[in-house]
Amino acid sequence: MPTIRTSCPSCRQQVDVAASRCAMLGGPHGDPVAYAFVCPQCGEPIFRRVDPQAATMLLAAGVSRSGGEGNPLRPTHPENPRSAPPLTGDDLIDFHLLLDRADWFSHLTSPTASGEPE
């Protein structure tokens, strides 16, 4: 698989990224405007602008358009989806009422949070 040699603006290292680990991002008209990858050095998600000529070369090297299965920024979830009942209208109303409380955040982050307003 071809690699893309680029630089990371976060850690300022020159890095080699497999083309399969890059994703081409499109503009509002679908034309490629940037590519993205996760820096192998610092782990930061990086977005770099490209001109049309560079975009053509990256696509020819095997960079996939975003949204594809090979998109490195696409979460691999749900390999283990949580099982839970679907959200209902009552759940939404309960959540709305919970957000009116001053302690809504600590309530949601407490280990015993059930989602039920008290």
Q: Could you tell me which stretch among 8-16, 20-28, 59-67, 86-94 binds Zn ion (CB under 5 A)? A: 8-16
Q: Pick the binder of Zn ion from 2, 7, 16, 42 (CB under 5 A).
A: 42
The span from the CA of 23 to the CA of 50, in Å, is 12
Question: Does the protein bind Zn ion through residue 59 (CB under 5 A)?
Answer: no
Closest among 55, 46, 36 to 12, alpha carbons compared: 46
The span from the CA of 76 to the CA of 19, in Å, is 18
SS3 41: coil
Question: Does the protein bind Zn ion through residue 22 (CB under 5 A)?
Answer: no
Nearer to Zn ion, 22 or 98 (CB): 22
Site residues, Zn ion (CB under 5 A): 8, 10-11, 39, 41-42
